[in-house]
Structure 1
Amino acid sequence: MKILFYGARDYDQRFFDKLKPAHPDIDITFIEANLYAETASLAAGYEGICAFVNADLGTEVIKELAHQGIRLILMRCAGYNNVDLKTAAECGIKVLRVPGYSPEAVAELAMALVLTANRHTHKAYIKCRENNFSLNGLMGVNLYGKTAGIVGTGKIGLAMARICRGFGMKLLAYDLYPDKTQTDLNYVSLETLLSSSDLISLHCPLTPDTYHMINKESISRMKDGVILVNTSRGGLICTEDLIAGIRDHKFFAVGLDVYEEESDFVYEDMSEHILKTSTVQRLLSFPNVALTSHQGFFTEEALTNIAETTLENAEAFRTGQELRNEVHI
């Protein structure tokens, strides 16, 4: 079975190459070009393609992939909100994903963002490099004894809850489908969580129901001086409303690994370019905001698990086994 890997980086190839000997009947070609309407025709001659969270898998692209004979789309990530599942189903293309690669990897970055934005370690590092040892602008708040609100209690949310508990924080949780086995989690309504939490950490998928769940109205319900962290999907937050909240001093700190306009330049070196919009620059201009480049998954363990599950998904499709990680409409 021949599979074309779009948007492949050196680290992708390194981790997949380690595991390829265990799957001798799967032939992988890595290309740097990402998947767009203009590059979909490169899939000619392949049975499947593998894409990441920043690929364009909309209607036009799916139809072109089907035209090229593609029968399988492998997502080497958990999210699939960039995939037109309806068109894929109509074209007879199976979509498989990696539902869980390392919950701890994402949760640990979420807490890293909390600490960075709260204690201004990113600013302190730059100041010290310039021999500026003043403490001006570096004051934070204790997390111990505060209340952490976990929105979404899947594997990543639960991992974040464990970390917050280790910091001595009280826990509140919200999920459409509460996990009744988590007896030490205090499930409350979203409204209660927003109004009672000192730290709010988002760990839910992007769906029509969760799109812009953090907006002007929900921000107004939050405590003054709240810390907000998002390591899930940028679309969970209405960026314009977030910026307005930051300017109104609603937030003590904000940590973002994902943001709405990231799809055009995520994982790209844009240091020599003038960006089309200024949203990211506006966020970076605030002293209490810390941004990273969608790197929650970026650990040795997570990348190993992603490669393992992706190849197992391909093998299951090739051999007609049960597709345990298939994504349905």
Structure 2
Amino acid sequence: MKIAFFSSRQYDIDIFNALNEQYQHKLEFFEPELDDKYAVLAKGFDAVCIFVNDGLNASIIAQLADYGIKAIFLRCTGYNNVDLEAARKNNILVYRVSYYSPYSVAEYAMTLILALNRKVYKSYNRIKRGNFELEGLMGFDLHKKTVGVIGTGKIGKVFTDILRGFGCRILAYDLFQNEDCLRSGVTYTDLNQLFAESDIISLHCPLTPENRHIINEDAIALMKQDVMIINTSRGQLINTKDIIDGLKSGKIGSLAIDVYEEEAELFFKNLSDKIIQDDIFARLLTFPNVLISGHQAFFTKNALDDIGHATLQNANAAAEGRTNENSL
């Protein structure tokens, strides 16, 4: 197939060109996100390949259909950014990457917990200035702390395994209980109990209309004083304005996010010489107990190889007009 890649970065080009020697599709890479302005770049291609912040609404999908696009490939697991009904109406096949290294995101979530708890980022900046004081750097033992895990799919399951190594008590919430988690001693409960008893809450669920802003003012009111919140899933799981209120009041003791609900205007870009116009994001940056990274939890060589192979295998299926385990 002739595939137009959008939201492409050099690492995408390097990984996909190397792997494509095995698959022999025709790949072309574009830096812009796929939107109304840049959809025209898809003319002359059989398929488009997109990432998390490419928003394919009904209007854009109709444009793609007019250009002869037969398939949409997502380089990610989540698919909340694609109007699947519109794709079906326009006879466009949609595929995602249903599996890539779950260790990448799970290990990164634990990295955020440790860095936030032990103030590694503060210590690093102090040492560079010649300040070796320990005041303000005190953390706590993770051993015997209660960690609430929302979402126990592949990533959530690996994350619970990591937590067990630290001796944590693990509460979990998921619409579908994972038998492996149950066997390993994870306790499933409702959200109210999870919010009320957890010292740390980590999000590992896909974004759906039902769980949008699952972390909101009401949820925060139920949480322990000084709760730590971690989000490596989707930004819109958290109501950022409510989080800021929780940080200001001291109810939320610390926050680490690798995703942000308005990240499309910020992440995967170099804005170091620009003034950030998002006042809510700018407010988050002012808190000393907030750690933010730019959607890098997935970013390991293992995960990118998995994503590349799955995407190009999806292209094989689309070229033959068939569905597979990644079809939506």
The normalised TM-score by structure 1 is 0.97
SS at match of 1:7: coil
- Note if contact 2:2-2:27 (Cα within 8 Å) is conserved in structure 1: yes
Equivalent residue, structure 2, for 1:22:
22
Q: Distance in 2 between matches of 1:7 and 1:239?
A: 25
Q: Which runs of 5 or more residues in structure 2 are unaligned?
A: none
CA RMSD of aligned residues (A): 1.1
- Note if contact 2:101-2:302 (Cα within 8 Å) is conserved in structure 1: yes
Give the CA deviation at 1:319.
2.2
Q: Which runs of 5 or more residues in structure 1 are unaligned?
A: none
SS at match of 1:260: coil
- Note if contact 1:37-1:56 (Cα within 8 Å) is conserved in structure 2: no
Q: Distance in 1 between matches of 2:241 and 2:86?
A: 32
Equivalent residue, structure 2, for 1:203:
204
- Note if contact 2:142-2:167 (Cα within 8 Å) is conserved in structure 1: yes
- Note if contact 1:114-1:254 (Cα within 8 Å) is conserved in structure 2: no
Q: Distance in 2 between matches of 1:321 and 1:41?
A: 26
Give the CA deviation at 1:88.
1.1
Give the CA deviation at 1:69.
0.7
Moved over 3 A (4+): none
Q: Distance in 2 between matches of 1:102 and 1:191?
A: 31
More deviation, 302-311/275-284:
275-284
Q: Distance in 1 between matches of 2:276 and 2:64?
A: 30
Equivalent residue, structure 2, for 1:158:
157
- Note if contact 2:276-2:282 (Cα within 8 Å) is conserved in structure 1: no
Give the CA deviation at 1:320.
3.5
What percent of counterpart residues are identical?
Answer: 44
Give the CA deviation at 1:263.
1.0
Q: Give the aligned residue type for 2:72.
A: I
Q: Distance in 1 between matches of 2:231 and 2:36?
A: 30
Map Cα deviations across residues 195-240 of structure 1 (whole Å, 9 max, x no partner): 1111110011111110001000000111111111000001001001
Q: Distance in 1 between matches of 2:128 and 2:59?
A: 49
Equivalent residue, structure 1, for 2:171:
172
Aligned length: 326
Equivalent residue, structure 2, for 1:253:
254
Q: 1:141 to 1:287 in 2, by over 3 A?
A: same
Report 1:72-221 matches (<5 A): 72-182=71-181, 183=183, 184-221=185-222
Q: 1:322 to 1:15 in 2, by over 3 A?
A: same
Q: Distance in 2 between matches of 1:238 and 1:306?
A: 29
The normalised TM-score by structure 2 is 0.97
Equivalent residue, structure 2, for 1:45:
44
Q: Distance in 2 between matches of 1:207 and 1:320?
A: 28
Q: Distance in 1 between matches of 2:137 and 2:50?
A: 40
